Amino acid sequence: MSDCLFCKIVAGEIPAKVVAESDTSLAFYDIAPEAPVHVLVVPKRHFAGVNDVIATDRGVFDELIALAREVATAEGVRDSGYRLIFNVGDEGGQTVPHLHVHVLGGRQMRWPPG
Ligand code: 5GP
Ligand code: ZN
């Protein structure tokens, strides 16, 4: 996807502070952090969002969560706790149409979210 922001970050065309990487996924700091730890984990392949991952691609989720967990460990929040969020679509609050999971931590999270 040539005009996709996160595809451009994956391709190195737009700079980002990379935290971790696997063969299939990339983790980088969110540009507008909502918590002391706020990292985005994205598949290197373009999917618009959670609804666009079909059955044969579901390993994508395993790989995202596995890298998110590595990020939590590297950022020192594995044991204190953290939150993983997939925003899906407009009412879900998704603003960038490339699948991503937010890794949030380093402060007490509130529930329910706004
Ligand atoms: P969404 O609202 O789609 O779940 O999350 C998109 C996230 O991407 C937001 O938290 C926003 O701050 C972040 N973001 C938007 N543009 C950029 C960018 O150019 N670089 C980085 N690192 N994060 C971005
Ligand atoms: Zn993309």
112 assigned to some structural domain: no
Is there a contact between 37 and 77 (Cβ–Cβ < 8 Å)?
A: yes
Active site residue 46: no
48 assigned to some structural domain: yes
Weakest-pLDDT range from 31-40, 51-60, 76-85, 96-105: 51-60
Ligand nearest to the CA of 87: 1
| Residue environment code for 91-101, b if the CB has 16+ CB neighbours within 10 A, otherwise e | eeebeebbbbb
110 assigned to some structural domain: no
Which residue range is the domain that position 88 belongs to? 5-105
38 Cα nearest atom in ligand 1:
10
Return phi, psi of residue 42, to 5°: -125, 150
Ligand 1: residues within 6 Å at CB? Answer: 5, 16, 28-32, 40, 87, 93-96
Q: Count up the domains in the chain and report the number.
A: 1
Percent of the chain with pLDDT over 70: 99
User: Would you say residue 113 has pLDDT above 90?
Assistant: no
62 assigned to some structural domain: yes
Long-range contacts for 64-67 (Cβ within 8 Å, ≥24 apart)?
64/25, 64/99, 64/101, 65/101, 66/22, 67/20, 67/21, 67/22, 67/25, 67/27, 67/41
87 assigned to some structural domain: yes
Q: Report the pLDDT averaged over residues 77-100.
A: 98
Going by alpha carbons, the residue nearest to atom 19 of ligand 1 is: 31
114 assigned to some structural domain: no
113 assigned to some structural domain: no
CATH code assigned at 64: 3.30.428.10
Q: What are the tens digits of pLDDT across the range 19-62?
A: 999 999 999 999 999 999 999 999 999 999 999 999 899 899 99
